Amino acid sequence: MRVSIGGDHAGPALKKSLTNYLESLNHEVVNRGTDSTESVDYPDHAHAVAADVESGAVDFGILICGSANGVAMSANKHQGVRAGLAWNAEVAQLVKQHNNANVLCIPARFVTEEEGLGILKAYMEMDFEGGRHERRVQKIACAAMAFILMCLPFSWLSAQNEASISNPIPYAETISATDLENHLMVLASDAFEGRETGEPGAEKAAAYIASHFASIGIAPYDGETYYQPVDLVRSQILGGSASVSGEPLNFLDDYLFYPGIKKEAFSDIPMMVIGDPAQLLETDVKGHAVVVRANEVEGETRWQSGLNDVRTAAAEAGAEAVILVGNDISVIRSRMKPWLTRKSIRLNRDEPEEREGTRIPTFMVDASTTDSWWKDSDIKSWKKWSKKISKGQTVPPTLLPSAQWNFQLDAETEEVEGKNVLGFIPGRDSILREEVLVITAHYDHVGIIDGEIHNGADDDGSGTVTVLELAQAFMEAVDAGQGPRRSVLLMTVVGEEKGLLGSEWYADHPIWTLENTVANLNIDMIGRVDENHTDDNRYVYLIGSDKLSSELHEISELANATYTNLALDYTFNAPDDPNRFYYRSDHYNFAKNNIPVIFYFSGVHEDYHRPGDDPEKIMYDKTAEIGQLVFYTAWQLANQDKRIEVDRVNDFPTK
């Protein structure tokens, strides 16, 4: 076998490793450079390898550069060359099996030498499947098609263009199950390590998305980059030292505390026992740590039962902290430890003065460690106090004269940068292009938990790859001279799993004024089914479509009735929905700014935020249909003469 290999300055080490492997198998290798890390122009080497393949001088080619995007685009300019980009072994198999790629392109900056070798091996071991894929591969031969079109009468071409201006079907049909799967096999692979915000896997995902935007002809939104930096602060709790009047408590064994604690140190804070939360309304607890008993049901401690009410009342009364005492802290420790000790991320900015709920420092303490607290008090002991409460007896507020609360948080904090990835398509109408439709999904997930990679194929790999396909569908229209009249921003955001951070940052720092933002269509988890739809997957939950604009709702309904005929389920589109899904994805940060939204969602399932959320379980045909519904809705919003009106008062309250 004869193989041509080349690449730019990003890949000499990987190129040498692959060459050694091929030569060890007695294959002849044609070296098309470069062998140096000094900067070169990647097209020079890509064209050399592609020419070898085009002429039949070699059996296949290998191209290497930083993202592999540029060399792939260069090679595909050659007749008969099918250059396929592979970020991992699974995709390498697919580019051979489904696309019969004869040039393998590998991103040197995003794979190790070992991974690069695995990509080559997977490609070489796979055969082209043929069949329906043969027909599709033949359609790649665009040069022949171009010749045919040149021979057709101009009047015929003009008629076809005119007829298809208002017809979105050809573009919507480019959103295919196969393409969705090819993208998701990359983004939801182990190589991306669960795409946690602030970690290398998320950086890889952002680079993959940006490279796709570039490959389909979307220019950087500001002329330089596809990224909007999101300023973040990452922190991790290492522990804390706590004591009561000199007697130490052991973190995790004796006590826990709520994450996000706003005050990191306490010194000799007086402790006030409260038997009934109602007493907080009539007791001066300012400057005190309020000690309350955890609720019990049939002898079992319910640590979090009623706790939010206690915390709110204590904060309003001016207490410094809440100390919850109960039996057997191991019950809540098993639930809280993973979230308490893992890294957390927030936006790097001043915290708002007012926010929903309370952040009063809250500690949970095992009762077995409190014997010395009750000394010199009327309560005498934990058991006596607890027994009186269990019997319904009133225990008046009591100061613990021998107990003062001390605490020092131990945590690490660092500034990090996340990235929203923006694919901006300018509108073709000189007036309407000043308005923008925003389509979103979040590409981050929860990363690695207890050593297990959570790949997040559905959450929200399914939405992310759908945005990639939507971008391609719109660019097909652009290339045909029928791009959207309004501008369209296809944005994959970071930090959703950390609290909708990327979309909140965008809403505070929009690249297009919010006043000129027509609507937001947000896609999150559309690749699986929930327990209510196990018998029929042709459905989608819609949330928010009728809350700000009656016209948006009508457009959505009409698009579905005309093109996709999915079952539109509005179960969660109610302010009293206990799941509060309306507040749990990125559309919310647009809706709270009075921008009409639709949230596309298929519900939760047994693998939600679990290691089993893998790409093999995704229903790609279902995902493609929902993606097409989004496109048809977006097409109308982006092309109708008048932007939709905000004509309703949202009955979902703003947080």
**CA 654 to the chain's CA centroid:** 23
Q: Quote the mean pLDDT of the chain.
A: 92
| pTM of the full structure | 0.76
Which among 254, 291, 190 is positioned nearest to 611, based on CA atoms?
Answer: 190
Does 524 have pLDDT greater than 80?
yes
Of 527, 561, 523, which Cα lies nearest the Cα of 542? 523
- Helix axes 177-187 and 200-215, enclosed angle (nearest 10): 150
Structure confidence at residue 357 (pLDDT): 58
Q: What pLDDT, on a 0 to 100 scale, did the predictor assign at position 358?
A: 78
- pLDDT at position 144 is 41
* pLDDT at residue number 613: 97
The CATH classification number of 2-138 equals 3.40.1400.10
What is the predicted pLDDT for the residue at 132? 78
pLDDT in tens, 431-456: 999 999 999 999 999 999 889 999 99
Instruction: Dump pLDDT digits (tens) for 379-427.
Output: 889 898 888 888 888 889 999 999 999 999 999 999 999 999 999 999 9
Q: Which residues contact 486 (CB under 8 A, 6 or more apart)?
A: 427, 429, 432, 433, 435, 436, 437, 518, 637, 638, 639, 643
Task: Identify the pLDDT of residue 260.
Answer: 74
pLDDT band at 154 (very low <50, low <70, confident <90, very high): very low
Is 494 in contact with 197 (CB distance < 8 Å)?
yes
**Using 50, 70 and 90 to split pLDDT, how confident is the model at 166?**
low
Distance CA 619, CA 442 (A): 19
CB of 186 closer than 8 Å to CB of 460: no
142 pLDDT tier (thresholds 50, 70, 90): very low
- Provide the pLDDT for residue 137: 80
Assign 176 a pLDDT band (cuts: 50, 70, 90).
very high
- What are the pLDDT digits (tens) for 331-376? 899 888 877 888 889 999 876 555 555 789 999 999 999 999 999 8
Q: Return the pLDDT at 141.
A: 61
Of the pLDDT bands very low, low, confident and very high (cuts 50, 70, 90), residue 296 is confident
Identity of the residue numbered 92: A
Looking at the chain, the whole-number percentage of residues with pLDDT higher than 90 is 81
Instruction: Please state which CATH number belongs to domain 234-413.
Output: 3.50.30.30
Structural tokens at position 634: 């977006």
Average pLDDT value for residue range 154-177: 65
How big is the CA angle at 283 (ends 281 and 289), to the nearest 5 degrees? Answer: 105
pLDDT of residue 351: 67
pLDDT of res. 392: 84
Q: pLDDT value at position 134?
A: 84
- Token pair for residue 489? 């921003």
Q: Which residues are catalytic?
A: 65, 98
Single-letter code of the amino acid located at 439: I
Residue 338: per-residue pLDDT? 79
Residue 34 has pLDDT above 80, yes or no: yes
Handedness of CA 296, 298, 301, 306 (dihedral sign): negative
One-character DSSP codes across 116-182: HHHHHHHHHH-----THHHHHHHTT-HHHHHHHHHHS-HHHHHHHHHHHTT--HHHHTT--HHHHHH
Report residue 298's pLDDT band, with 50, 70 and 90 as the boundaries.
confident
pLDDT surpasses 70 at 570: yes
> What is the residue extent of each domain of the chain?
2-138, 176-217+426-639, 234-413
| pLDDT tens digits for range 234-280 | 998 998 999 998 999 999 999 999 877 878 999 999 999 998 888 99
In CATH terms, the fold of domain 176-217+426-639 is Aminopeptidase (3.40.630)
Give the angle subtended at the CA of 513 by the CAs of 512 and 515, to the nearest 5°.
135
